[in-house]
Every structure is written in structure tokens, then in C-alpha cells.
Structure 1
């Protein structure tokens, strides 16, 4: 069962998201917050698998709350849920350690898929957000590819293999199965990859892998 903490200051939005998530028997909402500060406190108290955070909330916004949750409840995967698709928000969310970026205007199936993806150790970008990221990559593809290849060359062959599968959207468990490894070993490789490449999260790792041509 995937345990979700939902944070949004609008009651109707919370009700709608809760209804969508209830269509999946493997997902349950364990707590709801109306501001970022409460979300941080509830993340500590409930230790959810996934935290869905609105961006614009009182007291503490979702982007700031994401940073604090990563520090106090590191086992919780954070996904930003917002009506705002601006590149600035996307960049700040990824820099803050968010593993997912979901749009409230998206297909409800994207919400469920996103929760499953980040809960499994993967990353998820709403299709509209992903399209913008790809467009930005293409704009400076040659320079970025050269830089990315130089960075990934410092990894071992096994680490590059793990990185390529991570970028393809596989969870730690799926990577372990594909490579005949135990999941703990894969988690160790992912942690090492993020540290050696100075990356904040799996989304940044996936982008770098695409730039380097590993996918």
C-alpha cells in the first residue's frame, strides 16, 4: 500500500485529488495539510511514502516544504502538484529534491501514475512539463552532450548501466531484476551516482543521462 500525504490549501482540490487516488486500491491518503509547515510536521508524524505538495500555500510554500521534508523525512518521495507549469517552478522543484512534477490540469491517470512512479523510487514529469525539458535540452544539445559525457565518464561501467536504466524510468526494484542484483545494491549505486555527479535527485540524473546519450 502506498501511503500518501496530501498538502493543498484548497479544500475542493484536496477532495478531488483524494477521490482520484481512491480509484487505485494500492493508494491511501493517510493525512492532509493546508499549508507547507503542517505538511512538514505531518511528514514527520506519519512517515508517508509519497508527499503531494501544492506550490502556493500559506505559511510555507510547497517548494520550501519539499526541501525541509527531504531533510526530516528522507524516505518520503516528494511530488509537486500544481496548476502552474512555468519553467521557473519546474527548475526550483527539481533543485529542491522533488521526484515528480504533476499538473492539476493534467489527466487524472497521470496523477495515479506519478504517485506509483515516485513511490517506487522513480521519477515522473507531467507530459507537458517533460516536453519543455526536452525542448530546452535540444536548444543546447551539442554543448550539453559533450559536458554530460565528460561527467558520466567518471562513473564505473556498472554505474553507467544503472544510470541508463534509471533514466529509462525503471524503479530500483526493476533495475535490480534487470541486472540480477539485490535492490539494496541498486540503491547504493544510485546514491553513489548522485554523489559523484553532484546531482540532487533522480530527475536530474535522468536528464544528464539523456544528455550523455546513455538512453
Structure 2
């Protein structure tokens, strides 16, 4: 079935090479799609061209911005991104962005702990739009379970799909979700790839995406 093998996309930022390689290998082994960076500068270059579902970052990166500053920059550019912070010091949890997950580096011997934190960060509350500006259409979890592709979407991606179905332009979606236009364009592009409607001749992908949403969520979602 189309989209059945879709994987979460993770941006891993870690300045220690050995730790970076080990964590990346562990996540790939568990089916995650990885972008890897050694510092915030490299990470920001990735964020400018990719659409990761979650940022997994160490706090101390050997230079500025540090991991917590990077998380704030990433969240400002793409409000839907999940955040997982890695550190040996639990006290940093008090300074993390809202909704971020903390993983003690001492627990990285258990890869399932990090994988679970990533999933919590991705599926946690992502309704960070302006008050009173919620989309007209939503995507109930019960309906999403009927389609493995839609079920695998993050809440932010599902919201973007709902807004496409409502007929909004990318600029209007950016306004509704407090995202940058560039971030929305990346998310929409990735959604079209996920739905296998990107770069298909003689097809309007926004129409196909809207029909896909309507078929699964219908009038009850209006």
C-alpha cells in the first residue's frame, strides 16, 4: 500500500563523533530516516532544506548556538517540529522549549528509551497556532486509523493536510500555523511525496491531497 514504509525523519545533532555515529546507527536500525549534524550551523543548513519530524540534539555542541538555542530557532521556524534534548544533566529540562522531551545520556544504552521519546515528541500537542485561528477541518484519530499513510502523519502534518483540504494557500497555512512560508512549503512537498502524488504529470497534487483527506474524514470533519 502506498506510504506503508514511511519513516519518521529525525535530525540528530551531536558534536561528539562516536556518540553521533552510535546514536545514528541505533535510530536507523529502528527504521528512522536520519539527517545528521555535528553542530548547530550544520543543523540549520539541514532545517533550511529538509522537513524533519523531530530534532534530537545534545545541549553542549562545542559552539553557539547550543542545543537549547537551536531548539528554539527550529521551533520558531517550524512550530510543528518535535524536540528531544540529550544531556547528562537533568537540570536542563527546566530550560527546554514547551513540549520537548528529555533523555539522560546515561540511558542511551537502551535505544528503546530514545525511540519512545522521539515518538512522544512527535505525537505530543502541536496546536501552537494563534488563538481563535484553528482550522475549520480536523483529522480525528479514529478516522486516521483507517489509512496507514494518514495514521503515520504527525499532528502538524495532518493539520497542514486539513488546511490544504480547506482550500488554503501555502501562505495562508503559514499564517494559521505560525510557521514560515518556507517551512510550510517543505511540509507540503513532503506530504505530496508521502501520498505519492509529487511530480506526477497532468495531476494537481493539492486537489488529490484534498480529495484524499475528504475521503477519509468526510463531512464530519468540517
Using the size of structure 2 for normalisation, the TM-score is 0.51
Q: Is the 8 A contact 2:24 2:36 kept in 1?
A: no
Distance 1:69 1:3, change over 3 A: same
Deviation at 1:44, TM superposition (A): 2.4
SS in 2 for 1:74: coil
Q: Is the 8 A contact 2:37 2:43 kept in 1?
A: yes
Q: Which has the higher helix share?
A: 1
> 1:71 Cα shift?
0.8
Residue 46, structure 1, aligned to residue 50, structure 2:
yes
Aligned pairs, how many? 130
Structure 2 distance, partners of 1:104, 1:15, is 14
2-structure distance, mates of 1:177, 1:101? 29
Aligned-residue offset at 1:98: 4.8
Which consecutive residues of structure 1, in runs of 5 or more, have no partner in the other structure? 124-171, 188-215
My pick for the range that moved more, 99-108 or 50-59, is 99-108
After the TM superposition, list the runs of 4 or more consecutive aligned residues in structure 1 that deviate by more than 6 angstroms.
Answer: none
> Which whole-Å CA distance do the structure 2 matches of 1:122 and 1:75 have between them?
9
Aligned to 1:66: 71
Alignment of 1:25-174 (within 5 A): 25=31, 27-29=32-34, 31-57=35-61, 58-86=63-91, 89-93=92-96, 96-106=97-107, 107-121=110-124
CA deviation after TM superposition for structure 1 residue 7, in Å: 0.3
Q: Distance in 2 between matches of 1:122 and 1:12?
A: 33
Tell me whether 4-13 or 97-106 shows the greater mean CA deviation: 97-106
